[in-house]
Amino acid sequence: MASNMKIKTSSPQFQGGIKSACNSVKQRALSAVPNLELSGNINWINKAGEKISSAEQRLILGASALMTQPFIDANNKKVDEKTRKVSVARTIAKIVAGTATGFIIRKACIKGIKAMSQPRGANVPKWKSLFTPKNITKTNTDAFMQYRNAMGTIVALVVMMFTNFLIDAPLTKFLTNTLIKKQENK
């Protein structure tokens, strides 16, 4: 007789109770996070956001990853010692390969866009103004500099769809094997 009984989960009262409980849990989690109030001169945050390109951001991300992720893999007690060593080597190789190629490709694309976004003029070849927006008068404004960085980053992302397979993967494999051999020789 009990197998014939079914709970209706589609009723509005049941769904309202779940939504209310979820909202209550979300609110408690948000209330637990302390408020952060920055005082003093915080213009450096805005300046850093305007001046640091995606290439430099990739270097910062790679450096912080190199300082943390290998240690996390090295202290993983759920796997045996050999797996830990291989995992550390692979993590280091991925970070180094990804950071190096990401930085180089982004920087090259940003420089390429800068070279091809010169103001139009009589003495400027057409290819040098290929990426110059129409009706542009000044190329030294912050907005135009950010345009160049953004356009270079977009071009770099397209390029990296191919270089991930052509450069990153083989380089990661090579670096992983090199690091594993060095560990075995010690």
pLDDT tier for residue 143 given thresholds of 50, 70 and 90: confident
Domain boundaries, the chain: 53-185
pTM for the whole structure? 0.70
Question: What is the percentage of the chain residues whose pLDDT exceeds 70?
Answer: 90
Inter-residue contact 112 to 159 (CB < 8 Å):
no
Mean pLDDT for the chain?
84
**Mean pLDDT in residue range 147-158:** 91
Other residues' Cβ atoms within 10 Å of the Cβ of residue 87: 17
pLDDT at site 105: 95
pLDDT in tens, 108-132: 999 999 888 888 777 878 888 888 8
pLDDT at site 167: 94
**Mean pLDDT in residue range 138-158:** 85
Helix, strand, coil content of the chain in percent (nearest 5): 75, 0, 25
pLDDT in tens, 56-83: 989 999 999 999 999 999 998 899 988 9
Residue among 104, 1, 123, 4 nearest 56 (CA): 104
Inter-residue contact 167 to 125 (CB < 8 Å):
no
